[in-house]
Structure 1
Amino acid sequence: METTKWVLDPMHSEVQFKVKHLMITTVTGYFQRFQVEAETQDEQFTKANSVVFTADVHSISTNNEQRDTHLKSADFFDAENYGEIRFEGTDYEHLGGEEYQLHGTLSIKGVSKPVTVKVEFGGIVVDPYGQTKAGFTVSGKISRKEFGLTWNAVTEAGSVVVSDDIRLHAEIQLVKQS
Structure 2
Amino acid sequence: MKNILFSLVFSVMMCGIGYGQTTWIIDPAHSSIQFEVPHMTVSSVTGSFTSYAGTFTSKGKQDFEGAKIITTIEVNSITTNNMERDKNLKDEDFFNAAKYPEIKFESTSFTKTSGNHYKITGNLTIKGVTKEITLMAEFGGIISINNRQKAGFKATGTINRFNYGLQWNDVLDNGGLIVGEKVDIIINAELIKQ
What is the TM-score when the length of structure 1 is the normalising length?
0.96
Measure how far apart 1:82 and its partner are: 0.5
Identity %: 39
The structural deviation recorded for 1:133 is 0.4
What is residue 113 of structure 1 aligned with on the other side?
Answer: 131
- The alignment status of 1:18 with 2:36, answered yes or no, reads yes
CA distance in 2, matches of 1:62, 1:39: 31
Checking the alignment, whether the CA contact within 8 Å between 1:98 and 1:120 is kept in structure 2 is yes
Q: Which residue of 2 aligns with 1:173?
A: 190
Measure, in 2, the Cα distance between the counterparts of 1:34 and 1:102. 19
Q: 2:101 aligns with which of 83, 100, 121?
A: 83
Question: Does 1:138 find its partner at 2:127?
Answer: no
* Structure 1 alignment gaps of length 5 or more: none
Q: Per-residue deviation at 1:24?
A: 0.6
Letter in 2 for 1:25: S
Shift of 1:157: 3.5
Counterpart-to-counterpart distance in 2, 1:92 and 1:154: 39
Q: Please list the CA deviations of residues 107-147 of structure 1 after superposition, one character each: whole Å capped at 9, or x if unmatched.
A: 000000011100100000002x1110010001000000011
| Alignment-derived partner of residue 35 in structure 1 | 53
Q: What is the number of residues matched between the two proteins?
A: 176
SS at match of 1:152: coil
Q: Does the alignment pair 1:67 with 2:85?
A: yes
My pick for the range that moved more, 159-168 or 43-52, is 43-52
Matches within 5 A, 1:139-154: 139-154=156-171
CA distance in 1, matches of 2:73, 2:97: 11
Shift of 1:46: 3.2
Q: CA RMSD in A?
A: 1.0
Distance 2:81 2:66 in 1: 35
Contact 1:103 1:114 (8 Å CA) reproduced: yes
Q: Give the superposition deviation at 1:47.
A: 2.4
CA distance in 2, matches of 1:26, 1:114: 25
What SS does the aligned partner of 1:71 have?
Answer: helix
* Partner in structure 2 of residue 5 of structure 1: 23
Which residue does the alignment assign to 1:159? 176
Q: Which moved further from structure 2: 40-49 or 13-22?
A: 40-49
User: Which residue in the other structure is 1:102 paired with?
Assistant: 120
Aligned mates of 2:119, 2:174 — CA distance in 1: 40
Aligned-pair CA distance for 1:42:
1.1
1: CA distance, partners of 2:154 / 2:90: 26
Choose between structure 1 and 2: higher strand proportion: 1
Shift of residue 35, structure 1, vs aligned partner: 1.1
